[in-house]
Amino acid sequence: MTSTPSPILAAAGQRPAKLYRYSHRTWLERSLSLGEFRLRAPLQGLTMPQSGRHILPFAEKQDMSAGYLTLSLAHAWDEALFALFSDADACLVIHDTEEFGERIHRAAQKTLPSWAGIDAAMSYGVPSPLGSAFSKSRQSAQEKEWLFAWRPTQSVPIFNPVTIRIGSIESIAEIRLRSA
Protein backbone atom coordinates (compact mmCIF):
# COMPACT_ATOMS: atom_id res chain seq x y z
CA MET A 1 0.00 0.00 0.00
CA THR A 2 1.44 3.35 -0.96
CA SER A 3 0.56 6.59 0.73
CA THR A 4 -0.26 9.73 -1.18
CA PRO A 5 2.37 12.36 -0.41
CA SER A 6 1.21 15.72 0.88
CA PRO A 7 1.54 18.66 -1.49
CA ILE A 8 4.76 20.62 -1.12
CA LEU A 9 4.79 23.88 -2.95
CA ALA A 10 8.15 25.13 -4.14
CA ALA A 11 9.60 28.16 -2.44
CA ALA A 12 7.81 31.27 -3.60
CA GLY A 13 10.76 32.79 -5.40
CA GLN A 14 14.34 31.75 -4.98
CA ARG A 15 15.57 30.97 -1.49
CA PRO A 16 18.18 33.42 -0.19
CA ALA A 17 21.87 32.50 -0.33
CA LYS A 18 21.96 32.03 3.47
CA LEU A 19 19.44 31.63 6.26
CA TYR A 20 19.95 32.57 9.92
CA ARG A 21 18.33 31.27 13.09
CA TYR A 22 18.95 33.39 16.20
CA SER A 23 18.47 31.47 19.44
CA HIS A 24 20.17 30.03 22.49
CA ARG A 25 23.34 28.10 21.67
CA THR A 26 22.05 24.91 23.35
CA TRP A 27 19.07 24.70 20.97
CA LEU A 28 21.16 25.59 17.94
CA GLU A 29 23.69 22.85 18.74
CA ARG A 30 20.81 20.35 18.62
CA SER A 31 19.75 21.82 15.29
CA LEU A 32 23.28 21.52 13.92
CA SER A 33 24.07 18.01 15.14
CA LEU A 34 20.61 16.37 14.94
CA GLY A 35 18.82 18.63 12.50
CA GLU A 36 16.19 19.20 15.17
CA PHE A 37 13.67 22.00 14.54
CA ARG A 38 10.42 22.92 16.24
CA LEU A 39 7.40 23.81 14.12
CA ARG A 40 4.86 25.90 16.00
CA ALA A 41 1.78 27.98 15.48
CA PRO A 42 2.61 31.63 14.74
CA LEU A 43 2.08 34.19 17.47
CA GLN A 44 -1.44 35.57 17.29
CA GLY A 45 -2.11 39.19 16.42
CA LEU A 46 1.07 39.80 14.42
CA THR A 47 -0.27 39.21 10.94
CA MET A 48 -1.96 41.77 8.71
CA PRO A 49 -5.58 41.58 7.61
CA GLN A 50 -5.84 40.19 4.08
CA SER A 51 -7.82 41.06 1.02
CA GLY A 52 -7.72 40.03 -2.61
CA ARG A 53 -6.34 36.87 -4.20
CA HIS A 54 -4.08 34.44 -2.40
CA ILE A 55 -1.97 31.49 -3.37
CA LEU A 56 -3.28 28.33 -1.75
CA PRO A 57 -2.94 26.65 0.72
CA PHE A 58 -2.55 29.73 2.91
CA ALA A 59 -5.47 31.78 1.59
CA GLU A 60 -7.57 33.45 4.24
CA LYS A 61 -10.79 32.07 2.77
CA GLN A 62 -9.84 28.71 4.24
CA ASP A 63 -10.79 27.93 7.81
CA MET A 64 -7.96 29.56 9.72
CA SER A 65 -9.22 27.96 12.94
CA ALA A 66 -7.52 24.83 11.63
CA GLY A 67 -4.23 26.66 12.10
CA TYR A 68 -0.83 26.16 10.58
CA LEU A 69 2.69 25.46 11.80
CA THR A 70 5.76 27.51 10.99
CA LEU A 71 9.54 27.60 11.22
CA SER A 72 10.95 31.11 11.08
CA LEU A 73 14.48 32.08 10.07
CA ALA A 74 16.03 35.36 8.93
CA HIS A 75 17.33 35.92 5.42
CA ALA A 76 19.98 38.46 6.52
CA TRP A 77 22.75 38.58 9.09
CA ASP A 78 22.07 41.39 11.55
CA GLU A 79 23.57 41.73 15.04
CA ALA A 80 20.45 43.70 16.02
CA LEU A 81 18.38 40.53 15.62
CA PHE A 82 19.99 39.07 18.74
CA ALA A 83 18.11 41.72 20.73
CA LEU A 84 14.74 40.57 19.36
CA PHE A 85 15.13 37.19 21.03
CA SER A 86 15.72 37.50 24.77
CA ASP A 87 17.96 34.47 25.24
CA ALA A 88 19.71 34.49 21.83
CA ASP A 89 23.44 34.13 22.28
CA ALA A 90 24.22 32.42 18.97
CA CYS A 91 23.10 32.15 15.37
CA LEU A 92 22.79 29.09 13.16
CA VAL A 93 24.01 30.08 9.69
CA ILE A 94 22.71 27.85 6.90
CA HIS A 95 24.99 27.98 3.84
CA ASP A 96 23.08 25.62 1.52
CA THR A 97 19.52 26.86 1.74
CA GLU A 98 18.23 24.66 -1.09
CA GLU A 99 19.34 21.42 0.56
CA PHE A 100 18.13 22.68 3.94
CA GLY A 101 14.71 23.63 2.56
CA GLU A 102 14.20 20.32 0.81
CA ARG A 103 15.20 18.36 3.91
CA ILE A 104 12.88 20.45 6.11
CA HIS A 105 9.94 19.87 3.79
CA ARG A 106 10.64 16.11 3.50
CA ALA A 107 10.80 15.74 7.30
CA ALA A 108 7.62 17.76 7.78
CA GLN A 109 5.87 15.64 5.13
CA LYS A 110 6.76 12.47 7.05
CA THR A 111 5.52 13.92 10.33
CA LEU A 112 2.49 15.74 8.90
CA PRO A 113 1.49 13.60 5.89
CA SER A 114 -1.78 15.38 5.11
CA TRP A 115 -0.36 18.91 5.31
CA ALA A 116 0.88 21.19 2.51
CA GLY A 117 4.04 23.26 2.92
CA ILE A 118 5.69 26.27 1.34
CA ASP A 119 8.45 28.70 2.22
CA ALA A 120 8.94 32.32 1.24
CA ALA A 121 9.99 35.74 2.45
CA MET A 122 7.60 37.47 4.82
CA SER A 123 5.80 40.52 3.44
CA TYR A 124 5.89 43.60 5.70
CA GLY A 125 3.31 46.35 5.55
CA VAL A 126 1.50 44.97 2.50
CA PRO A 127 -0.50 41.75 2.17
CA SER A 128 1.41 38.80 0.76
CA PRO A 129 -0.12 36.89 -2.16
CA LEU A 130 0.44 33.82 0.04
CA GLY A 131 -2.06 35.10 2.60
CA SER A 132 -1.96 36.07 6.24
CA ALA A 133 0.63 33.44 7.18
CA PHE A 134 3.20 35.44 5.18
CA SER A 135 2.09 38.95 6.10
CA LYS A 136 3.15 41.11 9.03
CA SER A 137 2.96 44.76 9.93
CA ARG A 138 5.62 47.19 8.73
CA GLN A 139 6.84 47.50 12.36
CA SER A 140 8.12 43.90 12.19
CA ALA A 141 10.28 44.48 9.09
CA GLN A 142 13.52 44.41 11.12
CA GLU A 143 12.99 40.63 11.52
CA LYS A 144 13.90 40.00 7.84
CA GLU A 145 11.98 36.75 8.08
CA TRP A 146 11.99 33.77 5.76
CA LEU A 147 9.11 31.53 6.75
CA PHE A 148 8.50 27.83 6.27
CA ALA A 149 4.80 27.11 6.81
CA TRP A 150 2.56 24.06 6.74
CA ARG A 151 -1.23 23.99 6.55
CA PRO A 152 -3.54 20.98 6.91
CA THR A 153 -5.29 19.92 3.72
CA GLN A 154 -8.27 18.88 5.83
CA SER A 155 -9.72 20.63 8.86
CA VAL A 156 -7.90 19.56 12.03
CA PRO A 157 -7.66 21.19 15.45
CA ILE A 158 -4.76 23.55 16.13
CA PHE A 159 -1.65 21.51 16.83
CA ASN A 160 0.80 21.79 19.67
CA PRO A 161 4.37 22.40 18.51
CA VAL A 162 5.88 19.55 16.50
CA THR A 163 9.59 18.66 16.49
CA ILE A 164 11.12 17.33 13.29
CA ARG A 165 14.61 15.98 12.65
CA ILE A 166 16.41 16.25 9.33
CA GLY A 167 19.73 14.72 10.39
CA SER A 168 23.00 16.49 10.94
CA ILE A 169 23.44 19.72 8.99
CA GLU A 170 27.07 20.23 9.99
CA SER A 171 28.14 20.02 6.33
CA ILE A 172 25.83 22.88 5.29
CA ALA A 173 25.67 25.08 8.40
CA GLU A 174 27.65 26.54 11.30
CA ILE A 175 27.00 28.27 14.60
CA ARG A 176 28.24 31.81 15.15
CA LEU A 177 28.35 33.19 18.67
CA ARG A 178 27.02 36.64 19.49
CA SER A 179 29.80 39.22 19.64
CA ALA A 180 30.37 40.75 23.04
Greater model confidence, 53 or 142: 142
pLDDT at 6 over 60: no
pLDDT digits (tens, 9 = 90+) for 45-92: 444 344 433 344 444 444 444 478 999 999 999 998 998 887 799 999
Q: Would you state the pLDDT for residue 42?
A: 80
pLDDT at 27 over 90: yes
Greater model confidence, 158 or 115: 115
Closest CA to 169 of 108, 112, 104: 104
Q: Report the C-alpha gap between 81 and 129 in whole angstroms.
A: 26
Q: Report the C-alpha gap between 27 and 49 in whole angstroms.
A: 33
Q: Would you state the pLDDT for residue 61?
A: 43
pLDDT confidence bin for 11, thresholds 50/70/90? low
Maximum CA pair distance of the chain?
56
Range with the poorest average pLDDT among 10-19, 86-95, 111-120, 139-148 = 10-19
pLDDT digits (tens, 9 = 90+) for 90-133: 999 999 999 999 999 999 999 999 899 999 999 999 999 988 88
Q: Report the C-alpha gap between 125 and 134 in whole angstroms.
A: 11
Query: How many Cα atoms within 13 Å fall on the side-chain side of residue 79?
Result: 4
* 8 Å CB contact between 131 and 115: no
Greater model confidence, 150 or 49: 150
Report, as an integer, the average pLDDT of 20-39: 97
Residue 102 CB neighbours (<10 A): 16
Q: What backbone phi and psi angles, to 5 degrees, belong to 36?
A: -90, 125
pLDDT at 3 over 90: no
Q: Would you state the pLDDT for residue 12?
A: 54
